[in-house]
Amino acid sequence: MKILQLHSNFIEYRPIEKEIPSAEETEGRSYRLEDLIVLFTCVEKGDNIEVARRAIEEVKGFLENIKVNRILIYPYAHLSSNLAPPSEALRILEEMRVYASSLGIEAYRAPFGWCKEFSISVKGHPLAEQFKSISPGERAEGGEVVSKALEAEEKIVSHWFIIKPDGSMIPVDEFDFSGHENLKKFAAYEISKVRAVQQTPPHVTLMRRLELADYEDASDPGNFRWYPKGNLIKSLIEEFVTEKVTAYGALKVETPIMYDIKHPALANYLHRFPARQYIVKSEDKELFLRFSACFGQFLMLSDAQISYRHLPLKIYELTHYSFRREKSGELAGLRRLRAFTMPDCHALCADMEQAKEEAIKRFKLSMETLEGIGLTRDDYELAIRFTKDFYEENKDFIVSLVKIFGKPALAEMWDERFFYFVLKWEFNFVDNLDKASALSTDQIDIENAERYGITYVDEKGEKKYPLILHCSPSGAIERDIYALLEKAYRIQKMGGTPMLPIWLSPTQVRVIPVSENFNREAEKIAEELIRRNIRADWDDRPLTMQKKIREAEMEWIPFIVVVGQEEISTGKLAVRDRRIRREQRIRRMSLEELVNEIKKETEGKPFKPLTLPIALSKRPRFYG
RNA sequence: GCCCCGGUGGCUUAGCGGUUAGAGCAGCGGCCUUGUAAGCCGCGGGUCGCGGGUUCGAAUCCCGCCCGGGGCUCCA
């Protein structure tokens, strides 16, 4: 159906003569209507009642906007070369009028099948003239790749339980959540999907104030800019996760970020994955930007020679970036982005026994990863999702995950399998707005080896399809930072001092001279700390010491060293330790003791220098 | 994507039909120079998100778009 929609001061029309034998009967007089929307409407082959109604619903929205409630449906064949038969067209036009009337719109229809003369006066505002095209069964426009999984998921029947570490499985509504408030929030979020908070997420304010990251208007929503401090934190976490995963034995690789949308193995997978893609056009090809490392790794593995002796075979990539063109309303600060950095580790396993064994290793790896980043077991909740069949055959395995986790977990059981996996678990963080987001996750995939032609040769020399585990031990790096910031905010709200883990603090030690006379000493101390691989800087700006301390505190710097005559004479530094409560916050210690304490605190974590000048007067402000 | 809310110097904001749009912070210039969360004075800086409309007159009212937030929905 095509509609030319005109916001008119008036229209006058007069039927002259019948164009077709089936024309409606009508008086030959002139008709005039004022202050209305005229809909020159063309019914096309295949249009149905649903199209008629949808057209009216769209028009109704417009009527409400411009505060008009009168329409004229004017049959107008010239808008299409694919006309519906006249009888059908008449039926649909009449349906439009009746439906409009039922919605309280004052609706008229010009007679069908006549040659008419008309005069019209169209208003001059920008919205006055519009063209609409409505086709039957139309869902998304623009020939976009819409996931079948998205549609399938709407039909999924889920059963919700809480599994306790002792193995008992209790329907969610019978579980006593006392002592498990966070799990209660998480379960409520997952099941009822109801939340009623309306405010900027705390981490968004913090990521800007701390000059970590910000929105970039010139890009697509959900694509962020990262300032030096944010980039440092992000790359430290990336390196930490990479070290963990490679220590676990994964082979680190790199694969392209875009793929041909028409590639046979990929086209199918696209439909099985519930996400929308960015499309890049290149000459006559269309490519989609990856939303995970799956394709690249699967294509690589399908070309590899793999023996049962190599299994379980682990392969890893840190996707910088993965892209998911989430609907604009779903984006939220660092919690939900369109471009994000995600570690993705696949494991090929010979059979379900090996897969379960490997899954347990990865489960532990994920806990160690999150806890290394700076979250504790209290900060995240476990969800396990599986099919009914899988549960019945692998109950012990599911319970063993909960046992390792050590807290009750939310379980979702599906009657049927809609996805490529039979089991999936995630660690979820619940934020200050009671929203839950997945961090670590792993899946047992029973479908993609075959789809991608990934095989291994077993003991008998036969080709077999392995099972594939898909794990992100930390989840998106941006989301880890979101969790750390939300956690810090929560601590502050409860009267504590917010801070980042010391290994992630952009400045670990700030040196402040009591006056300009001690600038030289302050600089020397900062330089010495830097020489010892500690991120130190010094405040050389012409401000009062009090103000410098205040600013250092607002930057969440873990250690502030004030240098004056006393320190020079005694050789002991006055160290303001952020981890300690107000009263005893200042500790006397030597530089050596300070260095050792930081080294001990950050042991086993990667180190990178901060790429900002050591002297604060040389630093630009990126925000505020 | 749909619905609701918002966008005023770099940041936080006042003004919400009627003078040259006002402030704090930051920046710049100067003064001050020893002890743990804001020292003092001065100066510069604004197509009031963008486009259109209404009006004698628009930051202010209307429409569209962009960006952000929230909700629906969805996910790492």
CATH number at residue A606: 3.40.50.800
Residue A559 lies in a domain: yes
**pLDDT for position A616:** 94
Residue numbers of the domain that contains A309: 158-253+291-483
Residue A522 lies in a domain: yes
What does the alpha-carbon distance between residue A191 and residue A189 come to, in Å, rounded to a whole number?
Answer: 6
What does the alpha-carbon distance between residue A297 and residue A315 come to, in Å, rounded to a whole number?
Answer: 7
A454 and A536 within one domain: no
**pLDDT for position A150:** 47
Alpha helices (runs of H) in A349-455, residue ranges in sequence order: 352-373, 388-405, 448-452
Contact yes or no for A167/A399 (Cβ under 8 A): yes
**pLDDT for position A270:** 67
More confident residue, A292 or A267: A292
**pLDDT for position A198:** 55
Q: Across all residues in chain A, what is the average pLDDT? A: 87
Residue nearest to nucleotide B33 (CA to C1'): A515
More confident residue, A264 or A251: A251
Residue A128 lies in a domain: yes
What is the spatial distance, in angstroms and rounded to an integer, between the CA atom of A335 and the C1' atom of B23?
Answer: 35
Residue A469 lies in a domain: yes
Helices A352-373 and A228-248, axial angle in degrees (round to 10): 150
Q: Which band of pLDDT confidence, cut at 50, 70 and 90, is reported for residue A152?
A: low
For residue A503, report the phi and psi dihedrals to the nearest 5 degrees: -65, -15
What pLDDT digit, counting tens, does each position of A20-49 carry? Answer: 776 777 776 778 888 888 888 888 777 777
Output the DSSP codes for A152-220: HHHH--EEEEEE-TTS-EEEGGG---TT-HHHHHHHHHHHH------S--HHHHHHHHTTSEEE-TTS-
A22 and A50 within one domain: yes
Residue A207 lies in a domain: yes
Which residues, 6+ apart, have CB-to-CB distance to A33 below 8 Å? Answer: A10, A11, A70, A72, A108
What is the spatial distance, in angstroms and rounded to an integer, between the CA atom of A616 and the C1' atom of B29?
Answer: 19
A187 and A45 within one domain: no
Average pLDDT over residues A187-214: 78
Q: Which band of pLDDT confidence, cut at 50, 70 and 90, is reported for residue A272?
A: low
Residue A177 lies in a domain: yes
A174 and A42 within one domain: no
CATH number at residue A109: 3.50.80.10
Residue nearest to nucleotide B4 (CA to C1'): A198
The helix (run of H) or strand (run of E) holding residue A478 is: helix A477-493
More confident residue, A121 or A305: A305
A444 and A310 within one domain: yes
Residue A264 lies in a domain: no
C-alpha torsion angle, residues A429, A430, A435, A440 (rounded to 10): 10
A416 and A297 within one domain: yes
Residue nearest to nucleotide B34 (CA to C1'): A514
Question: Which of A3-7, A298-302, A570-574, A577-581 comes out lowest in average pLDDT?
Answer: A3-7
Domain boundary among A133, A168, A202: A133
Average pLDDT over residues A471-483: 95
Q: Which band of pLDDT confidence, cut at 50, 70 and 90, is reported for residue A142?
A: very low
What does the alpha-carbon distance between residue A214 and residue A208 come to, in Å, rounded to a whole number?
Answer: 6
Q: Which of the 8 DSSP states describes residue A504? A: G
> Percentage of chain A surpassing pLDDT 70?
92
Contact yes or no for A290/A319 (Cβ under 8 A): yes
Which residues, 6+ apart, have CB-to-CB distance to A265 below 8 Å? Answer: A295, A298, A299, A302, A451, A452, A453
Helices A477-493 and A352-373, axial angle in degrees (round to 10): 50
A233 and A339 within one domain: yes
Nucleotide with smallest C1' distance to residue A291 CA: B76
**pLDDT for position A188:** 81
Does residue A98 surpass a pLDDT of 60?
yes
A116 and A55 within one domain: yes
CATH number at residue A223: 3.30.930.10
List strands edge to edge, sheet with A436-445.
A169-171, A158-163, A409-414, A380-387, A421-430, A436-445, A467-472, A339-349, A313-323, A251-252
Nucleotide with smallest C1' distance to residue A622 CA: B10
What pLDDT digit, counting tens, does each position of A517-562 carry? Answer: 999 999 999 999 999 999 999 999 999 999 999 999 999 999 999 9
Residue A270 lies in a domain: no
What pLDDT digit, counting tens, does each position of A207-262 carry? Answer: 999 999 988 877 888 889 899 999 999 999 999 999 999 999 999 999 999 988 88
Tally the domains of chain A: 3
Q: Which band of pLDDT confidence, cut at 50, 70 and 90, is reported for residue A195?
A: very low
Domain boundary among A100, A133, A166: A133
Beta-carbon count within 10 A of A563 CB: 25
- Count of positions (residues) in chain A: 624
What is the spatial distance, in angstroms and rounded to an integer, between the CA atom of A128 and the C1' atom of B48?
Answer: 28
A513 and A613 within one domain: yes
A163 and A104 within one domain: no
More confident residue, A76 or A240: A240
A94 and A171 within one domain: no
A305 and A416 within one domain: yes
Does residue A269 surpass a pLDDT of 90?
no
Alpha helices (runs of H) in A28-163, residue ranges in sequence order: 49-66, 86-102, 148-155
Nucleotide with smallest C1' distance to residue A475 CA: B76
Residue nearest to nucleotide B31 (CA to C1'): A542
**pLDDT for position A126:** 55
Chain B nucleotides reached by a protein CB under 7 Å: 1-3, 10-12, 25-27, 31-39, 51-53, 63-64, 66-76
Domain boundary among A483, A512, A547: A483
Structure tokens at A512: 């402040």
